[in-house]
Amino acid sequence: MNKPPKTTVIFHGVPNDTTNWLVGIDTKFFTINQLLKGIKLIPDGIHFIHYSLPSIKSNDTNAATSSSIRYGRWIECDNSVTVLYWNSDLEKFDIVDDKNVPEALNYSKYTQNLGEIYSLTVAYPEDEAIWNGLISAIDLEIISDLVSLKSDSYSKEVNTITPSTEENTILSNQLKSKDPTRELDPNLISGSEIQFTILNFKQKRDNVSLEQISQDYLDKSWYLEETFGHDTDFVLGELQLSFVQFIILGNFCSGLQWLNTLKLLSMSKTFIVANKSFSLKFLRSFKLQLESIPAEYIGETISLNSAVDTKNFIGIMENFVKDVYPREMWGNDDCCGKMKVNGMVVDTWKKILLLIQQRFQLDLSNLENRKVDEDQFEVFDLKDYDENDEDVPAIVS
């Protein structure tokens, strides 16, 4: 057959016994079997191919899949045919790269019957607009910096337990502290890792006054700009990449990086207000993330089902509500220029608050009604306050 439209991913060498095996693209999953030969009509752009193999044999599908390690690769699709084949020696799926000379013959062999199997492929299942919104700032440069590329068009594989560079550094330091003479296995420490930006919320600027140190503690805009420079797309791209790897792979360090990046943004009022277009892009992306994350990941009470540190998440949202997105800071809805952007920011923020209340039963609206003096310090009503609020002033006699 002629080259099919858009991009096609075909599966090759799938074993006979694939009970409870899952394969997917972007945020969607399929049960893989001998009949499913691939995924077709994948739009151009960045995508995430992933799969999971059961770590235990069980007739209970939920038990088998929930305990499995998930694996994934970032890939750039450009009207091509990609081969995902089962490497029986390594017991994992890999990609045959037609640009790599030793693999070119295999690629031709695997794709020669494409016309026969094309009808056994499933159409791209994702809502293209939603996926593009979730990864709007991710490109191959960001993927290369954070995950590393194995080819010009796809990344190295990451999985549920892939650590971050920071985690590997901590492990290395701990091992060396126990035995400074020990020679560490390079593969133990520097194998596959995710090179997230290390965020140190205790970082201080040198040669500044005590007053400036206090201001820096409350507003981390200086640290965000010092860490990321003027590359606001990288901030958003890292937030998006960590989120996708968190919800698809259940990767712990990705979930932690997602929260820490949100925390840094929630403490960077000056930066957010000064960069209105970035603020709007961030809020639109954050809204899509909250719509996409499984509802049980965030809950009113912390439980074993909560994948997100709920207390930390609420603290981050409290920062946004009180310091970054109070309505009086963003003016009123107007028709043009900056005021129009301000109006869209306010409107998107309202939708986020409503979404959090409806999906996760977290009501943050009462935080907007706090009283502040002319210097923006909170004023407590001693006749009406929450005695569990850690910021409430102590009453002494």
Q: What is the CATH number of the domain that holds 117?
A: 2.60.34.20
Q: In what order do the strands lie in the sheet with 121-123?
A: 92-96, 81-87, 7-12, 38-42, 121-123
Mode of pairing for the β-strands spanning 81-87 and 7-12: parallel
> Would you give the DSSP letter of residue 17?
-
Nearest CA among 42, 26, 263, 214 for reference residue 138: 26
Task: Assess whether 131 and 264 both reside in one domain.
Answer: no
Helices 232-249 and 221-228 cross at an angle (nearest 10°) of 90
Task: Assess whether 351 and 271 both reside in one domain.
Answer: yes
Q: What is the mean pLDDT of each run of 10 residues along the chain (397 residues)?
A: 89 87 94 90 97 71 67 95 91 81 74 93 96 97 95 93 84 64 53 89 88 89 92 95 96 95 96 94 97 85 63 93 84 59 91 94 72 50 51 47
The residue from 122, 157, 192 where one domain ends is 157
Residue 353 is assigned to a structural domain of this protein? yes
Residue 336 is assigned to a structural domain of this protein? yes
Task: Assess whether 43 and 105 both reside in one domain.
Answer: yes
DSSP three-state, residue 270:
helix
Q: Show contacts of 315-320: CB within 8 Å, 24+ apart.
A: 315/263, 316/259, 316/262, 316/263, 316/266, 317/266, 317/356, 317/362, 317/364, 318/364, 318/367, 319/263, 319/266, 319/267, 320/266, 320/349
Residue 125 is assigned to a structural domain of this protein? yes
Query: CA–CA separation, 46 vs 78, rounded Å?
Result: 9
Task: Assess whether 151 and 206 both reside in one domain.
Answer: no
Q: Where are the beta strands (DSSP E) in 13-129?
A: 22-25, 28-31, 38-42, 45-53, 69-77, 81-87, 92-96, 121-123
Neighbours of 78 (CB within 10 A): 10
DSSP three-state, residue 84:
strand
Task: Assess whether 132 and 241 both reside in one domain.
Answer: no
Provide Rg for the chain, Cα atoms.
24
Task: Assess whether 364 and 282 both reside in one domain.
Answer: yes
Query: CA–CA separation, 144 vs 160, rounded Å?
Result: 19
Residue 193 is assigned to a structural domain of this protein? no
**4: Cβ contacts below 8 Å, ≥ 6 apart:** 40, 41, 81, 114, 118
Task: Assess whether 144 and 11 both reside in one domain.
Answer: yes
Task: Assess whether 256 and 313 both reside in one domain.
Answer: yes
Residue 392 is assigned to a structural domain of this protein? no
Contact 195, 252 (CB under 8 A): no
Domain extent, residue 363, equals: 201-379
Mode of pairing for the β-strands spanning 45-53 and 69-77: antiparallel
The residue from 99, 122, 157 where one domain ends is 157
Query: Can you list the alpha helix ranges (DSSP code H) found in 294-388?
Result: 310-319, 337-360
Q: Residue 31 region, left (φ>0) first, then alpha (ψ -120 to 50), else beta?
A: beta
Contact 26, 99 (CB under 8 A): no
Nearest CA among 249, 324, 330, 259 for reference residue 289: 259
Task: Assess whether 213 and 132 both reside in one domain.
Answer: no
- Residue indicated by tokens 């892939």: 162
Residue 191 is assigned to a structural domain of this protein? no
Domain count, the chain: 2
Mode of pairing for the β-strands spanning 38-42 and 7-12: antiparallel
Nearest CA among 177, 175, 156 for reference residue 167: 175
Task: Assess whether 205 and 153 both reside in one domain.
Answer: no
**64: Cβ contacts below 8 Å, ≥ 6 apart:** 19, 20, 54, 55, 56, 57, 58
Residue 166 is assigned to a structural domain of this protein? no
Residue 1 is assigned to a structural domain of this protein? no
CATH no. for residue 255?
1.25.40.550
Query: CA–CA separation, 390 vs 397, rounded Å?
Result: 19
The residue from 123, 141, 157 where one domain ends is 157
Task: Assess whether 133 and 214 both reside in one domain.
Answer: no
DSSP three-state, residue 301:
coil
Task: Assess whether 34 and 145 both reside in one domain.
Answer: yes
Contact 290, 352 (CB under 8 A): yes
